[in-house]
Structure 1
Amino acid sequence: MDKPAVTLAPASDVIPSSSPAFGTPARPVRSGKPSAINGKSTILPVLLPPALLRPVAFRTFTRKHNLTISSNSLQVLATFVGKNCGSKWREEGLAERLLDEVAKIWRKNGGGVIVEEGNGASIKTILQTMESNMVNGRVVPGKVMEREDRPSLQRKGSAVTSNTDDMGTPTAEDDNDDTDDSDPRRWMKVINAFDQPRLTYNPKNKHFETSTASPSLFPQPSHQITLWRDRHNLVHQRLLRNESFQTSSFASNVTQSYKISPIVNLLGRSGTPHLLLGLLSISPTGELSLTDLTGTIVLDLTHARPVPEDGAWFSPGMMVLVDGIYEEEEIVRGSVLGGNSGIGGAIGGKFLGISIAGPPCERREMTLGVSTIHSIGDIGTSGGFGWIDFLGVGSERALGQRMRKLEARCLRHNELSANESGRRNMVVLGEVNLDNMMTFDALRHVFKTYDSMPFEELPLGFVLIGNFIEKAGFGQSSGGNGIEYKECFDTLASLLSEFPALLRHTTFVFVPGDNDPWVSTFSAGAASPIPRKTIPELFTSRVKRAFSTANSESDAQGTKSASGEAIWTSNPARISLFGPVHEIVVFRDDISGRLRRTSVNFSKRTDAAQPSSKRAPGDANIDSMVVDGADNNDNTEQDPQSSVRKLVKTVLDQGNLSPFPLSTRPVLWDYASSVQLYPLPTALVLADSESPPFAITYEGCHVMNPGRLLSDGKRGPATWLEYDILRNRAKVRQRRN
């Protein structure tokens, strides 16, 4: 039998088997490329310490792309560079090119200013994508694909992506966007307090972090400690950013710089002056005390001077600055142990306060790092938290410039004269008691004022703020019941049906009060926990049906504008217009009366001491005051101005809608970030039925109170606010019934 012929390949075309006994196959080598197997170049991996890569990473991420890289991310990048770039990572510049591509993709994928896993993007996902598109230690141009979930601003009916370049600047595609965006309501979004991102400030990383734990209405007791700790850390970092608390070796001797002392540092320093920052509270023995993260000290404010004089309220639950002298005693006041307990306990002695002030307010532009906004929409990058998405609508650095261009096009900055309004107004009505029949007459007169306007001058929306039922204790003998409450909204639906143009082209936002269901069923008129949920849909179905009927008629007529809608939201709530450009906070609470009842009373100063030329911390000025009558813009000085200024300064300086103890105004611990005013909103609707209507601007934030729709519930002029979004100013409107 003949044996089959065996043809052997040339020796130069085969690789000897590494294990002939196990029959390891020989793999051919491509001719002309002896250094490559299967088309993939060979790289000799090296163990690259992060310390060697740190200068290259700093030059690429920080200086070129204005990013900060964490130590964990640096370790991941060092391992990746050593594996994929090998020993030539420095000589041929492979590492710098690789890190540059990583930084570009990180920015395009919406990553934060600090490069760490999960901060808006995934560094591991980016590296996995790049590894499959690298040849011989180099990234192949055009192969690295960007993620599809880039920063986007959702609007009704479509999703608009943010087309930005490597530095987050809008590209020319945005300028040539020819979509139908003439109606600004397409860019308006109402944010429920329970849907708002739950952010906490990390003092170690000096950055905001998103809470990953599931929120609960019955959390662990430690969450209450976290609430107060976050509030203290937020105020403390804000103070350190203030120029009054920053020292410089080039500063002159006239410049005053403040330094905050921890309470624990008072031990052993009797008779020395200090400036303390802490929580004003009542100790278990009934004495007024100050608490920070290190300890507690008893306060003696007998001779303290508030700064400014009669310009703000100071009540327990607030963060305050106290300047004074420490006096040490042998027996610890307020301490159960009766001895010096040190850190975390009561400090012996007392602190003699000389002056007390609230923490200085920080403007929104400084918080977001927007140093200047020129007419062409250029945004500065002077630090701040511009990459943080506080509301879930996009960050200032990612979408701010593009949204301002859309705002200029929609609100027609250059086409309207000063006397024309355009679609840039919002109507705010407070204390709309639907169980009072006179309220419907007042609402009819308000709606008639705007129903006759052409489409180009209609308001963007109406904000109706409760209490929608005047009687407290819903479901109790003294309050209303479910049937009566539903009949109130059914009557409102019949009234709204008389104005189909408003239903088709405007947005109605309903913010509940403490008397509305279901919370008032158990509170019996007392302060309910905030944030509080929306009014149940059981009572509002007829109103929604009225909007559906009006919109169906609008569709039959072929109208291209956005459909009108009714939105029931929480208290407090936020209204975002053009993403991060405009943030309007709406909060219903009789906060002025609570401040008057709980504030600390100071003795009148009898000395004739001259005021110091140096500005004290917390001593800020009101920018402007607008308290006008019906249909006029005259700024008039009225008696309630002093209390209005105190109210606005107190709330904004505290940076919190509820600067009270939890026993006075309960706050849901896991949703405490929804009551923070940081960064400052562009406008704050502080609906207080116990205060007169006002509109005032403080540190760039326009604060307004619509008051009561009907004064004392009697037949009289209907009072409401008309807020101009473009000018960030509001005026009080009145109309006789």
Structure 2
Amino acid sequence: MENSNGINGRNAPLFRTVQKPLDSNPIPSSSPAFGTPVHPIRTYKPPEPPKPSILPILLPPATLRPIAFRTFTKKHNLTLTSSALQLIATFIGKHCGSGWREEGLAEKVLDEAARQWKKFGGGVIVPGDGEELKNILKTIEGSMSGGRVNSNSLHSALSRQSSFAFGAGNSESAVSDSRPGGLGREESFGLSALGVEDEEESDERKDPRKWLKVVGAFDQPRLTYNVIQKHFEVIGAAPSLLPDPSHKTIMFRQRYNLIHQRLLRNESFQTSSVATARTSALQRSSSTLATPQQAYKLTPIANLLGRSGSNHLLLGLLTISPTGMLTLNDLTGSITLDMQLARPVPEDGAWFTPGMIVLVDGVYEEEGSAMGPGLDGNRGVGGTIGGKFIAYSVGGPPCERRDVTLGVVGEGKDGSLKAGGAFGWVDFLGVGSERAAGSAMRKTERLVLKGTSESSVEGRARVVILGEVELDSAKTLQALKKVLGLYAAEPADRTPMAIVLMGNFVRYAVMTGGGSGGSIEYKEYFDSLASALSDYPTMLQNTTFIFVPGDNDPWPSAFSAGAATVLPRGSVPELFTSRIKRAFANANADAEKATGKKTAGEAIWSTNPTRLTMFGSVQEIALFRDDMSGRLRRNGVRFRNLEEETAPSTDTAEPNGAPDGDSPAANASMEIDQVVETAESHIPAPKVKEPANSTISADLKLARKLVKTILDQGYLSPFPLSNRPVLWDYAGSLQLYPLPTSLVIMDPEAPPFAITYEGCHVMNPGPLTPGGRKGVAQWMEYDARTRKGMTREARF
């Protein structure tokens, strides 16, 4: 009989016993003396639960962006590029499925990815084009089960890896080579935001024109200030030309909130933490000594109830009530202003019109009944406060410099500016934020503009600004040819990088008909411009021409008949610009045939207002066409001179009295003027002796007054909507926050000027052919190297 262990191999396969190694089970045979076979005693193992299946989904990057921003930026101080966000969104959608939001799976993956990126020496910018982030996600993928990250498995896997190949090997030099300045290769020059290919040795990268970008009013990101979280958020709702009426309220609320938070960050409105009783005694004894230590406090209008006879500082919007009274409004209510004793701060240094947000210092005087349009005598929050506010001083909110808004706090060892707090992470124009690419782009600016003393770079870094180019005037065309001829005579590598032509392009609104040729006549004017430009092919091949329309240009002028149109207004329609585009195409084609190299001269038809950016967020030039000074003079509140002793005026928007210079009220008013003036931002220009010509002195005074009014408001159209309509959903494009590095206000009623105020260089080129000066062409030339403008003239 054969052995039952089946070693001889002649048993049927069904009855054969599989021989296993002796060390497979430490427990021996149950009966070794009888030679029974060694049957292994199998330990019980519970069946493994099946791995939960994950159904992949398509996760849009825009849907994941809020969580990614909260995890990478808020928690780990990192910034995801668009390509990296796309890569992570695809990974989470594939491995986390539909539970990415409800079960919090996405946040855990993002947190682990950010931790590993920082652990292995990643920079502030997280790019998605390299292999670094892909390797991190691969490691996380191997440690995931059911969409969840197994921390123990992940850490053991990371312990077997020394790096994620952040360069050639893991040396410090490799890291610095792959990410100059702590940024990825693409972000090191800000190329991801500008859309320019990174060619390190390319001559095109050294051309300042390659770093110039035009941002129209309708292309800017729509941001809103979150008062609770104190930061800017992107408005997700789509804009509309006919929005809900509540958007009108939101527009004014946004303006108020921006100025309010700007004031609270001003040193004059911050309470000192070292205030003592001795300081209080000094404040009571001498107003002069108290001024440096006094902190101003804003009072909401609703809090005036029951505080009659007390002094307060209010911040609100100047408006004209339905009864014709001048009132002040904030988010809590409104109150009637008594301007008899009011004085402007500084004296004759700014305009104050309805529609502006101002600071008013004075005394509240309560009355028995409510004044204004209150219903049933109701008083309180949201309504008209009974009584009146006797104003002593009226001033604009202090302006805030651009570097303070963006949090640029100092220079590094290499001369680059460092970004601190504030709003450095906010991308206001869609060209990259200060914290993300500001340092790298400043290095590029020095390399392109200041790294060489070649005269070609000096000439190439210019922007020529021509104002009021009226094509229906033969004199204007002659002046334009003269200006273009001067620059065309220079070498091709010295031609200006951009020429800005600002409207109105016709003297009258020809689109309204009335015996004119309408659209056909308007198109003929641009055809004549195309013929004039064709005479200067060098300019067309090497320069960017930017057209900013005015109120007389189509299509808004067809309905306004040349009056103030809605802001922001669109560009000139393509119907009228085809001949000019053809002239640029022909000039570029001729250059390619002659030299074999492609040229990229172009004509850009932008909006009003519009922005020019250079090197990302490093330089920003705002362009705006408006008859602003005339509108300010017509609508401004008039204050009585101190020397006047005439009867009160009957005008509702005009003060009806002023105290005598020796009266106690006048002395109190003068003291208040001294205190409030310290909270004002002044023009940082030294006092110079006024020229003997009174006309020049008056022009300079008018220019300073206009600049201070607009920049203190931080808004391009601080007027009532009845005087200057605004599209509610696009009002953010009119904000001057943060202040641009340069501002061009094309105002034909104001004299040409170039003034710097709070770090912002403001220019007015004036009309191309000034009135009263025969055969003279004037324009503005802006140098990007010095960030200054200069008025130029030529005879033709």
TM-score (norm. length: structure 2)? 0.75
Deviation at 1:728, TM superposition (A): 1.3
- The aligned counterpart of 2:440 is 402
Change (3 A) 1:232 1:61: closer
Alignment partner of 1:5 is 2:15: yes
| One-letter code aligned to 2:589 | S
Change (3 A) 1:172 1:368: closer
Deviation at 1:688, TM superposition (A): 0.4
Find 1:667's aligned residue among 717, 726, 742: 726
CA contact (8 A) 1:460 1:507 kept: yes
| One-letter code aligned to 1:243 | E
More helix by share: 2
Change (3 A) 1:451 1:481: same
- The aligned counterpart of 1:527 is 564
Change (3 A) 1:251 1:423: farther
- The aligned counterpart of 2:240 is 216
CA contact (8 A) 1:129 1:144 kept: no
Structure index of larger Rg: 2
CA distance in 1, matches of 2:230, 2:142: 30
Which secondary structure state, in structure 2, belongs to the residue aligned with residue 280 of structure 1?
Answer: strand
Alignment partner of 1:411 is 2:428: no
CA distance in 1, matches of 2:117, 2:548: 49
Q: Tell which deviates more after alignment, 371-380 or 468-477.
A: 371-380
CA distance in 2, matches of 1:363, 1:196: 21
CA contact (8 A) 2:588 2:599 kept: no
Which secondary structure state, in structure 1, belongs to the residue aligned with residue 460 of structure 2?
Answer: coil
CA distance in 1, matches of 2:541, 2:109: 59
Structure 1 spans left out of the alignment, 5+ residues: 19-23, 28-36, 39-56, 68-74, 111-120, 147-160, 628-633
Find 1:108's aligned residue among 117, 126, 139: 126
CA contact (8 A) 2:268 2:679 kept: no
- The aligned counterpart of 2:683 is 622
CA contact (8 A) 2:471 2:506 kept: yes
Change (3 A) 1:401 1:179: farther
- The aligned counterpart of 1:643 is 702
- The aligned counterpart of 1:448 is 485
CA distance in 2, matches of 1:345, 1:393: 42
CA distance in 2, matches of 1:530, 1:377: 40
Deviation at 1:526, TM superposition (A): 1.4
| One-letter code aligned to 2:397 | P
Q: How does 1:175-574 map to 2 (within 5 A)?
A: 177-180=200-203, 181-250=205-274, 253=279, 254=290, 255-373=293-411, 376-415=414-453, 421-472=458-509, 474-477=511-514, 480-558=517-595, 563-574=600-611
Change (3 A) 1:248 1:717: same
CA distance in 2, matches of 1:476, 1:498: 32
Q: How many residues align?
A: 656
| One-letter code aligned to 1:183 | D
**Per-residue CA distance 1:594-618 (angstroms, 9 max, x = gap):** 0000110111124275666646255
| One-letter code aligned to 2:724 | R
Change (3 A) 1:203 1:350: same
CA distance in 1, matches of 2:786, 2:318: 37
CA contact (8 A) 2:458 2:785 kept: no
CA distance in 1, matches of 2:105, 2:117: 10
Change (3 A) 1:66 1:492: closer
Find 1:587's aligned residue among 616, 624, 630: 624
Change (3 A) 1:241 1:523: same
Change (3 A) 1:453 1:331: same
CA distance in 1, matches of 2:355, 2:349: 18
CA contact (8 A) 2:402 2:740 kept: yes
| One-letter code aligned to 1:701 | C
| One-letter code aligned to 1:165 | G
| One-letter code aligned to 1:193 | A
Deviation at 1:136, TM superposition (A): 2.4
Change (3 A) 1:168 1:213: farther
| One-letter code aligned to 1:484 | E
Give percent identity, aligned residues only: 49
Alignment partner of 1:657 is 2:694: no
Structure 2 spans left out of the alignment, 5+ residues: 1-10, 26-39, 53-69, 80-99, 167-177, 192-197, 280-289, 644-660
CA contact (8 A) 1:576 1:583 kept: yes
- The aligned counterpart of 1:116 is none
Deviation at 1:77, TM superposition (A): 13
CA contact (8 A) 1:625 1:695 kept: no
Change (3 A) 1:548 1:291: same
Which secondary structure state, in structure 1, belongs to the residue aligned with residue 732 of structure 2?
Answer: helix
Which secondary structure state, in structure 2, belongs to the residue aligned with residue 734 of structure 1?
Answer: strand
Change (3 A) 1:335 1:461: same
**Per-residue CA distance 1:669-703 (angstroms, 9 max, x = gap):** 11010000000001101000111111111001011
CA distance in 2, matches of 1:469, 1:598: 26
Alignment partner of 1:678 is 2:737: yes
CA distance in 2, matches of 1:706, 1:545: 29
Q: How does 1:86-105 map to 2 (within 5 A)?
A: none
Change (3 A) 1:639 1:126: farther
Which secondary structure state, in structure 2, belongs to the residue aligned with residue 685 of structure 1?
Answer: strand
| One-letter code aligned to 1:179 | S
- The aligned counterpart of 2:153 is 136
Alignment partner of 1:578 is 2:637: no
CA distance in 1, matches of 2:181, 2:434: 13
CA distance in 1, matches of 2:413, 2:494: 24
CA distance in 1, matches of 2:561, 2:459: 44
CA contact (8 A) 1:359 1:617 kept: no
| One-letter code aligned to 1:405 | K
Deviation at 1:399, TM superposition (A): 1.1
Change (3 A) 1:166 1:284: same
| One-letter code aligned to 1:188 | L
| One-letter code aligned to 2:569 | R
- The aligned counterpart of 1:605 is 642
Change (3 A) 1:306 1:6: farther
CA distance in 2, matches of 1:145, 1:272: 68
CA contact (8 A) 1:411 1:422 kept: no
CA distance in 2, matches of 1:173, 1:235: 30
Task: Give the superposed CA RMSD.
Answer: 4.1
